[in-house]
Chains A and B, each alone.
Chain A
Amino acid sequence: MTTGTRPVAASAPAGPSAPGGRALLRRALSLLAPLAGLAVILLLAAVTTPGFYSTGVLQLVLFQIGLIGVTAVGQTLVLLVGGIDLSIGAVIGLTTVIIAVYTRGDGARLGVAILLALAAGAVVGLVNGLLVVRRLVPAFVATFATFVLVQGVITAWTRGAPSGNIPGALSPLGTGRWLGVPVPAWVFLAVAVVAGIVLGRTGLGRRLYATGANARATALSGVRTGWIIAGCFVASALLAVLAGLINAGYIGYVDARLSRSLDLNSVAAAVIGGVGLTGGRGRIGQTVAGVVLLAVLLAWLRQLGAGAGAQLIVSGAVILLAVWLQNSGWTPRSPRRNKQRDGVR
């Protein structure tokens, strides 16, 4: 017994081990809750809103899945390294404004406008990342500050009344279809697949998980944890720009307010899917499941005639429910929770 040291075996939980053969099963099980929720909502929708299973609604749901999904992938990256990105909606708004103001509806200027939007997004992401990594500002505070700042920039720049046209050349990204499925859903699929491969199959992904689970031990193993964390914020901001382009292409005009609930929705989708809010826990597959669940839920509410207020209430309630479920042992046991429990004693 040495001063100040907790006996080792005492805090090691007696949880089940995960032998290789059962790993796949456990993965499938972790998707069980969001998929069960999805089934329930689909059932309720069938009962309450007969028109739910029409092509029109389905198209809208797929578009929503695409839009929320692209931001949710970025949010997942940030959540995995233990952060949260609240500036996503602001970046989406900023993207729309940059496109409208710079192009003034001229498709020839669209390419440069997109580059400008990406650059602006990268700057926001970098600021977030630097605040978190170098100044140790909590991600919640840092990204909320940049959210307010960017909103202010938009308001000042557009004198509070954003106007302008989005070039028609962008509309295929928002309204186009391929094989009958909206382009945004395809974009989301591509983004999710790439992110899934990077997270699950590359050294970068492994380092990212390790950073989120224990940044200190990971840094001591020679990993540039600061770069990884900052990189996730930049990736999240760049994906928000992509979502902004989709959004601009879809609505065709500027409305900075439309995008605001996307911060919340991206967090909600990831958390419903089972991505941990404390870092290091969660997979893209879970995020995809959460995105589908949330998009279906929101579409159903809209079919029921619920307004924007009710949709926000439900998003908030769903996050609370998901977080509460996560903390009450519905996800596989993790040592983090046990540590906290020990600490309480």
Chain B
Amino acid sequence: MTSSTAAVLQARGLTKSFPGVRALDRADLTCRSGRVHALVGENGAGKSTLVRILTGNQLPDEGEVLLDGRSVRFADPREAMAEGVSAVYQELTVLPAMSVGDNVMLGQERTSRGLIDRAAQDREVRAALARVGLGDLDPRTRAEDLSLANQQMVEIARALVRRSRVIVLDEPSAVLSGDKLESLFTVVRGLAADGVAIVYISHLLEEVTDLADDVTVLRDGRVVSTGPAGDYDVPRIIRDMVGRDVDAVFPPLPEPADEVVLAVRGLVPVSSTRSPVALDLDVRAGEIVGVAGMVGSGRSRLLRTIAGEHPRAAGTVEVAGRPVPTGTRRAIAAGVALVPEERKTEGLVLPLSVRANTTLAALGQVLRGGFLSTRRERVVFQEEQARLGIKASDPEQGTWQLSGGNQQKIVLAKWLRRGPRVLLLDEPTRGVDVGAKSEIYRLVTGLAVEGMAVVMVSSDLPEVLGLSHRVLVCRGGGVVGELAGDDINEENVMHVALDTAGTSR
């Protein structure tokens, strides 16, 4: 065991702003060799931005990164890797058709006289694989034949071959479960014992307190607290993660009617591995149901299944008492509208004008004698522009030119033209500035008042809490809890979302 506590990598006052958001605000972080440093925070707290700066994927607006005490500026990930700083991201970058050995050595090929030196490479690959607990694996195995867990180990081995002194693990446990998690911990502890500094990002707080030597909690881009793991327990971490006031202004929620508009029974999305939980859900006219949970907990898939876009393994969906078959078109015809998470690639056809996007889902309304009437389209757009407060100079303006908030309003306008009964919102305010956010809140509440049933998935907890009559909490592919009335608060949601009672997994 090493007792070294030298600071290898340090962040000093890192600040990074994006239009409308301060992603990182004077954040400090100190990584010492031989120690596991856990970085925790809600979705959007700034963890990813911090990591991206440390690994050369982004440059800070202010502040500096110190490596062995000297200031460095990584222009791209290659420079960071050359200095011994690597990251293993949640989205694996293993090339499935290549062998494990080639994957590990990718970009680091050992050559002799211009040709790859197989023997030397094999030795190095085997050594690296042994350190991640895959000593028995033949380097010639194709990467696609490995389990997700082992692919992740291959990624870590890749970082080892680069002689990394700092390895960032971005939610490594998200693809793992049970005993796989235990072997990941063993590997991580082993690397730390060898003197590597580990930055460990995770949503599973139990494992954070188990594994980490140091903890840093981020919230709204700021470091809320930092210190040795011994000073932390799960309740304190949660308090630090969520302890803030709901600062956006939410309009008062309407009283829902008695009529059940959306009735979901035993719904199970088709999914790959985890044993799913069937969803039963009634949403009444005028009711807004929020869906919370960590990224990857299956929230979006659930929403897409209701929208008929993702196939069902089981269950039924009814709108106003009539069954909705699966299939996007049929769901739309039944009165279901989905505002998807990826606004630019799924919500809008960016190259088209705002007018054309507004009428896309209801072209029948703007026909005259069988032909499109541009004049009618403009009238339609101007109606929606007035109703939703869309800031666009002209109906012919390119949709790509609008800000995120106005783009989102165009997506809403497109669906409102069809007069849907059920509105499904997936991250409705992602990438939307604060002002437009509260406008969207007002619009959604207004639509509920008009009798729509709304289901909203969001990573923005205050938004879920402030805008929902009820909150469903997702974990591991299904809804595992429901909160209503006074039980709706951040700590309760986090407890269910993170499974801090330790009931499953």
Residue ranges of A at the interface with B (Cβ–Cβ < 8 Å): 1-10, 12-15, 17-20, 23, 197, 201-203, 205-207, 209-210, 213-214, 216-224, 280-281, 334-336, 338
Q: Which residues from A are CB-within-8-Å of B370?
A: 202
For A218, the closest partner residue in chain B by CB is B349
Pair B328/A214 contact, Cβ less than 8 Å: no
- The answer to whether residues A7 and B19 also contact, given A1-B44, A19-B393, A19-B396 and a CB cut-off of 8 A, is yes
Sample (17) of A-B pairs whose CB atoms are under 8 Å apart: A1-B24, A2-B44, A2-B427, A2-B430, A7-B19, A8-B344, A8-B431, A9-B19, A12-B402, A13-B401, A14-B401, A18-B353, A18-B398, A202-B372, A203-B364, A217-B347, A224-B329
Q: A213-B350, A217-B345, A220-B347 are in contact. List 4 more A-B contacts (CB 8 A).
A: A1-B44, A8-B431, A210-B360, A220-B338
Are B309 and A3 in touch, CB under 8 angstroms? no
The 6 lowest CB-CB distance pairs between A and B, nearest first, are A8-B404, A1-B23, A7-B18, A335-B400, A203-B363, A9-B19
B401 touches A17 (CB 8 A): yes
How far is it, in angstroms, between the C-alpha of A173 and the C-alpha of B427 when the chains are bound? 59
Complex CA distance for A8 and B397, rounded to whole angstroms: 17
Shortest CB–CB separation between residue A333 and chain B, in angstroms? 8
Q: Given A2-B44, A201-B371, A210-B349, A17 and B21 touching (CB < 8 A)?
A: no
Q: How far is the CA of A7 from the CA of B432 in the complex (A)?
A: 9
Could you say which of A3, A224, A334 has the most chain B C-beta atoms within 10 Å of its C-beta? A3
Which residues in chain B, 414-472, are within 8 Å of chain A measured between CB atoms?
414, 427, 430-432, 459-460
Which residues of B lie under 8 Å from residue A221 when comparing CB positions? 332, 360-361, 414
Contact A18:B350 (CB < 8 A) given known A203-B372, A206-B372, A220-B309:
no
Cα(A5)–Cα(B431), bound, Å: 7
Q: Say yes or no for B56: interface residue by CB 8 A criterion.
A: no
A223-B401 Cα distance, complex, nearest whole Å: 24
Closest residue to B46 on the A side, CB-wise? A1
CA distance A6 to B431 in the complex (A): 8
* Complex contacts, B407 vs chain A, CB 8 Å: 8
Asked if B303 is at the interface of the complex by the 8 Å CB criterion, the answer is no
Chain A residue numbers with a CB within 8 Å of B351 are 213-214, 280-281, 334-336
Give every chain B residue within 8 A of A214 (Cβ-Cβ).
Answer: 345, 348-351
Tell me whether B431 and A7 are in contact (CB under 8 A): yes
| B401 x A206 contact (CB < 8 A) | no
**Chain A positions within 8 Å of B371 at CB level:** 197, 201-202
Q: Is the CB of B396 within 8 A of A219?
A: no
- The residues of B with any CB-CB pair to A shorter than 8 Å are 18-24, 43-44, 46-49, 221, 295, 309, 328-329, 332-333, 338, 340, 344-353, 356, 359-361, 363-364, 367, 370-372, 378, 393-398, 400-404, 407, 414, 427, 430-432, 459-460
Closest to A4 in B: B48
Residues of A within 8 A of B345 (CB): 214, 216-217
Chain B's nearest CB lies how many Å from the CB of A217? Answer: 5
Are A218 and B360 touching (Cβ within 8 A)?
Answer: yes
Chain B residue nearest to A8 in the complex (CB): B404
Q: How far is the CA of A281 from the CA of B349 in the complex (A)?
A: 12
Give min CB distance, A284 to chain B, whole Å: 15
Chain B residues positioned under 8 Å from A217 (CB to CB)? 345-349
- Is B295 touching A335 in the complex (CB atoms < 8 A)? no
Q: How many A-B residue pairs have CB under 8 A?
A: 146
Tell me, rounded to whole Å, the shortest Cβ–Cβ distance linking A276 to chain B: 10
Chain B's closest residue to A26 (CB) is B396
* Assembly CA distance A338 to B350 (angstroms): 11
**In the complex, which residue of chain B has the Cβ closest to the Cβ of A19?**
B394
> Least Cβ distance of A177 to chain B in Å?
33
Bound-state CA distance A205–B24 (Å) is: 46
Chain A residues contacting B393 (CB-CB under 8 Å) are 17, 19
Instruction: State A256–B401 Cα separation when bound (angstroms).
Output: 50
Contacts of B361 in A (CB 8 A): 221-222
CB-CB < 8 A to A338: which residues of B?
400
Contact of B352 among A7, A9, A210 (CB under 8 A): A210
A207 near B431: Cβ-Cβ < 8 Å = no
For residue B464, give the distance in angstroms from its CB to the closest CB of chain A. 14
CB distance from A335 to the nearest CB of B (A): 4
Q: Give min CB distance, B21 to chain A, whole Å.
A: 5
Residues of A near B24 (CB, < 8 A) are 1
Contact assessment for B346 and A216 in the assembled complex, using a CB-CB cutoff below 8 Å: yes
B360→A223 contact, CB < 8 A: yes
Which residue in chain B gives the minimum CB-CB distance to A23? B396
Q: Are B431 and A203 in contact (CB under 8 A)?
A: no
Residue contact B20 to A9, C-beta cutoff 8 Å: yes
Interface centre among A4, A15, A23, A207 (most CB of B within 10 A): A4
A223 surroundings in chain B (CB, below 8 A): 360
B16 to nearest A CB, angstroms? 8
Tell me, in angstroms, the Cα distance from A17 to B400 when the chains sit together.
10
Q: CB-CB < 8 A to B346: which residues of A?
A: 216-217, 220
Residues of A within 8 Å of B364, CB to CB, are 203
Q: How far is B329's CA from A217's CA once the two chains are assembled, in angstroms?
A: 13
Could you say which of B20, B349, B397 has the most chain A C-beta atoms within 10 Å of its C-beta? B349
- Which residue of chain A is the closest to B427 with respect to CB atoms? A2
Q: Is the CB of A3 within 8 A of B44?
A: yes
